[in-house]
Structure 1
Amino acid sequence: MRRMGGADAFMLAMETPRAYMHTFKVAIIDPSTDPQGWCFEKFHRDFEQRAHLVPFLRWKYADAPLGLNHPLWLEDEDFNLDYHVRRVALPQPADHKALCEFMGSVYAYQLDRSRPLWKCWVVEGVEGGKVALVTMLHHAYVDGAGASYGLEQLYRDTPGCTPEHVPPWQARPTPSWLKQLWLALRDWPALVLGGLPKVISGLRQKKALERQYAEQGKPPHPAPSMMQQTPINRVLSYGRTFVCDSMPFADFKAISKGLGVTINDVFLCCAAGALRQMFLDGHYDPDDSPLIAATPFAGKRPEGMEGLGNFVTMDYCWLHTDIADPLERLHAGHKAANEMKEHLKKSVEMNADFSAVMKIMPPWAVKAFSWWLREKKQGSLSLFGNVALSNVPGPRKPLYWDNYKLANWFSTGQIIDGTCINMTMWSYCDFVNLCILADKKVLPDGWKLFGYFKRELETLVSLTPQHTEQEKLAS
């Protein structure tokens, strides 16, 4: 039994029948590295032997009695791996686009809250003889950094490794309602009284800092209340569009080194350029003002919690869809990202960042806020800004599930009312993998936006000094 943290509880409380708060973790397996080839039954046995390495796979949640505290994680006494791991065959033409279409369709369903909040579709028949492990995992369990750690627990950096010891597992009995009530009351003072004064003081300091910025003539830090209304900001429908593909990591490194920016700056620039072109296609003028992008940041994880819980915080930066020139946009984004990092650092020091506030927010307050955003603001205001952007560094060396090589890895977050597009970038080995998750009514064709992103990347590569010099030598 474990009490959820504030950010964990936030992920549950923000969920609605249309705003799903689960994530995708997609592993592309290459069975050709195993002399015996692919065998589902063998994979299933291996999964059973590895489940203890990621304890939350057997956890279901329980609301605190009377909503007096954050929910609990309890071990599922009826845990059944067969319910969570499902075998399917990819429909023809069984190419990568067909896989993405399958993933978009299964994403658009809520997970059953009476069971552990995850499912894994073992998708056979993927092009090239590969197998896709499409795992839908609720964000309440873990953030991106924790998921990366969990990935490295299930997989190994050398082939043929299996768990040396598989401990017997027996679910601990679920505590009675009265005991859960007592635990909620016992933990309440530490939760609220311990954190509330610090957060109130921090928010006051933050407000004073904003006034100081204004007096010094500095531009205001972006916030959701400053969102401009665009065609991509509305109340969610039920459908989802999901696309993902790989790009060479070498291109990002060449731009970073050649133009003096970070990998994340390149990501922001390409995302802004892609969205700008999408706006122009829809006859929407992007030149009035930049968008506001919400970006998560990994926080400090307590010892023993490397693969558990959400210790992520969040801040906002200007996304310069209003700048046509790619180099100018890149350097404006670099400046905006640095300002965001400085603002976040001060917010964390003041105990006034997103994570600190979520620690003391009761679930009923989060649900009420979510209802207000959906019913009263109608998508004109969102905690995730105009667009959600995330960049997570993944493993740089290939991983293996027994003898099966992990050929590639994709991951995405979620969208909420008002923020209908999420672009998540996750690196693996020599690839940079981009996932685009969107409301289907806002973005029926995700490949067009992905193509615009790749075009922006190619443009930046062509502007690096090294590429320019190569062109001169070639001519």
Structure 2
Amino acid sequence: MRQLTALDAQFLHAESATTAAHVAGLAILDPGCAPGGTVTREALVELLRERLHLAPALRLRLATVPFGLDRPYWVEDTGLDVAAHVHETTLPAPGDEARLAGEIARIHERRLDRSRPLWEMHLIRGLNGGRVALYAKVHHCAIDGVSGAETLAALLDLTPEPRPVEPPAPEPPPTAPGLAGMLAGAVSRSVTHPVSALRSLARMAADLDVIPVAAALPGARTVAAAARVLSGKDRPLPELPSLSVPRTPFNGPIGAERRFSYGSIPLADVKRVARAFEASVNDVVMALCASALRAWLREREALPERPLIAAVPVAVRTASARDVVGNQISVMVAPLPTDLGCPRERLRVTARTMRTAKRRFAGSPATWLGELSSVLPPAVTALATPVVFRLASIVMPPVNLIVSNVPGPQFPLYLCGARVLAYHPMSVLTDLSGGVNITCFSYDGSLDFGILSCPNRVADVWRLMGHLREAMDELLELVEPVRPAGPVAARPPREMIPA
């Protein structure tokens, strides 16, 4: 039995009629080497039953405290029916990428049932080329990017032949503390909450210059520097650029509908550009996103003069917390140089900005996300969060969007004997974080992108995916320029796993 942290509970509180706070992934499978040449729902259910003990986030359900007086607890669901969480559907012809993305968006819109473990899987047939798709979603209160990848890895194999898995060791399931215990804990924490809230505010003060909105206030840097001196952590830290958020079509209240697009870019191309510009793979990813967002905004005559501000999730999960359900994340906030017209300069500025943000994060790891979530009492936070998120999106959005890059294995994996061709991640949209989210996952030589949007903000989400590919071609031309005269050896086409 374990109580949700303030940050985990915040993902529950963020849900509303227009916000579903789960993370998900779309795996494209080649069933050619699977038994019978296909992946069946029955095989997937049996695999889950055999390996459920390897994925703790899939076994637990919420035990809520009466009247929301305290954060919920995780408790083992001893009556879990795995089959009830696994669904199957078939796309209508022609089973192309647009139809698949539309189906995924509709599934992603729906919130999870909080009365049972917070996950679902959908096996989707009818894709062209004989492929099969698997969409899986888990509530963000239970997993972050790293633990989500590890949960998926529990179901995957290195060969088409499934590996043997030891059955779980018998042990008594954890239980919730009971009604009296929950209420006693709630009363105890409510008494000590003012003191813990003041401590959280004091710790947040040292990070005031990197907290969205607060960083733009006059004197934020001075207050943060003074707080670090008082805390005994007065080390020289690099100064971050302005985090003032420009107005864009991405920001404002979102609706309940979603749009989704996906596609892949060869990782070898990204690494080639990174080497040529002495940048990291993540720097190139951020520069690609900056270029795609700039192109999309220019088409709509909505490009601001200032850089966009992106929130970049950072994993802080340690080896000792590997099996802990919940979030072990922080956030870096950094400008995207969408204001620069030259792609070479955009990449150079992106690399410089990200290096500064990483040095700042390493010198003073930001804990403000968890601290901010714990400032108000749980009952107040639950009621206030949706209202605050919507109001902030209108008055002063803290960021323009979230961009996330999750590293994955560079070798093929198999699910129920079928080869995983690509894995496109999906994350959360909220009023606060903007109406578009770009997430990518590196797998087996590709960068697999998933772009989620609210159609009230970004209706043509496939255009953004197209701009990402165009941005990659643009950077490759800088690395491999076309010669003005003489025979030119044609570069072999780069494989694009679509979409």
State the TM-score, normalized to the length of structure 1.
0.89
> How far, CA to CA, are the matches of 1:472 and 1:202 in structure 2?
62
Pairing 1:206-225 to 2, within 5 Å after superposition = 206-207=207-208, 210-211=221-222, 221-223=241-243
Query: Does the CA-based 8 Å contact 1:373-1:379 persist in structure 2?
Result: no
1:250 to 261, 264, 268: 268
1:389 and 2:390 matched = no
The residue aligned with 1:442 is 457
Kept in 1, the 8 Å contact 2:31–2:132? The answer is yes
Q: Are residues 1:376 and 2:377 paired?
A: no
Structure 1: unaligned runs, 5 residues or longer: none
Which residue identity lines up with residue 34 of structure 1 in the other structure? A
Is 1:237 matched with 2:255? yes
SS at match of 2:37: coil
> Is the CA contact (8 Å cut-off) linking 1:327 and 1:460 kept in structure 2?
yes
**Cα 1:191–1:297 shift into 2, 3 Å:** farther
Maintained 8 Å contact 1:7/1:311: no
CA distance change for structure 1 residues 192 and 334 in 2, over 3 Å: closer, same or farther?
farther
Three-state SS of the structure 2 residue aligned to 1:164 is coil
1:196-222: CA deviation from partner (whole Å, max 9, x where unpaired): 565333333345881289999x97654
Q: Where does residue 265 of structure 1 map in the other structure?
A: 283
Name 2:467's counterpart in structure 1: 452
**Aligned-pair CA distance for 1:474:** 4.3
Q: State the secondary structure of the residue aligned to 1:239.
A: coil
* Alignment-derived partner of residue 306 in structure 2: 289
Structure 2 contact 310–403 (Cα < 8 Å) conserved:
yes
| Alpha-carbon offset, residue 326 of structure 1 | 0.5
After superposition, residues 419-434 of structure 1 pair within 5 angstroms as 419-434=434-449
Higher deviation after alignment, 184-193 or 135-144: 184-193
Q: How far is the alpha carbon of 1:76 from its aligned partner? A: 2.6
Consecutive unaligned residues in structure 2, runs of 5 or more: 209-218, 227-235, 489-499
In 1, Cα distance between the equivalents of 2:427 and 2:409? 18
* Aligned residues of 1:265 and 1:333 also touching (Cα < 8 A): yes
Alignment of 1:346-425 (within 5 A): 346-348=363-365, 352-358=367-373, 362-383=377-398, 385-418=399-432, 419-425=434-440
Whether the 8 Å CA contact 1:273–1:326 is kept in 2: the answer is: yes
After superposition, the Cα gap between the structure-2 partners of 1:199 and 1:346, relative to the gap in structure 1 and judged at 3 Å, is: farther
Structure 1 residues 171, 205: CA separation in 2 closer, same or farther (over 3 Å shift)?
closer
Distance 1:347 1:365 in 2: 30
Q: Deviations over 1:230-276 (max 9, x none)?
A: 11111011110111111111110010011111111111111111111
In the alignment, which residue of structure 2 is the partner of 1:147? 148
Specify whether residues 196 and 457 from structure 1 end up closer, same or farther in structure 2 by C-alpha distance, changes over 3 A only.
same
Secondary structure of the 1:303 match is: helix
Q: Distance in 2 between matches of 1:191 and 1:163?
A: 48
Evaluate the alpha carbon distance shift between residue 163 and residue 472 of structure 1 in structure 2; reply closer, same or farther with a 3 A threshold.
farther
**C-alpha separation between the residues in 2 aligned to 1:285 and 1:41?**
50
Any residues of structure 2 matched to 1:92-131 within 5 Å, and which? 92-131=93-132
Amino acid at match of 1:45: E
Contact 1:296 1:313 in 2 (8 A): yes
User: Secondary structure at 1:379's aligned position in 2?
Assistant: helix
Q: Pick one of 474, 481, 484 that aligns with 1:468.
A: 481
Amino acid at match of 1:141: A
DSSP-derived class of the 2:25 partner: strand
**Equivalence for 1:9:** 9
- What is the alpha-carbon distance in structure 1 between the residues aligned to residue 191 and residue 412 of structure 2? 46
Please, which moves more after superposition, 288-297 or 159-168? 159-168
Paired residue total: 465
The whole-number CA distance in structure 1 between the counterparts of 2:7 and 2:319 is: 14
Specify the code of the residue in structure 1 equivalent to 2:410: R
Residue 277, structure 1, aligned to residue 295, structure 2: yes
In the other structure, the counterpart of 1:59 is: 60
Residues 27 and 424 in structure 2, CA contact (< 8 A), matched pair in contact too = yes
1:323 pairs with 2:318: no
Paired-residue identity, %: 27
**Structure 1 position 156 matched with structure 2 position 174:** no
Choose 422-431 or 80-89, whichever is displaced more: 80-89
Q: Distance in 2 between matches of 1:197 and 1:412?
A: 35
Q: For 2:440 and 2:332, how far apart are their aligned partners in 1?
A: 17
Aligned amino acid, residue 334 of structure 1: A
* AA matched with 1:325: C
The Cα shift of 1:89 comes to 0.8
Asked whether 1:343 is paired with 2:388, we answer no
Give the conservation status (yes or no) of the 8 Å contact 2:89–2:122.
yes
The one-letter amino acid of 1:139's match is H
CA contact (8 A) 1:240 1:438 kept: yes
1:92-141 per-position Cα deviation (integer Å, ceiling 9, x unaligned): 21122211111011111111111211111111222222221111211111
SS in 2 for 1:463: helix
- Matched letter for residue 110 of structure 2: Y
**2:88 aligned counterpart, secondary structure:** strand
- When the two chains are superposed, the root-mean-square deviation of aligned CA atoms in Å is 2.9
Q: Deviations over 1:179-201 (max 9, x none)?
A: 222344567789885x6565333
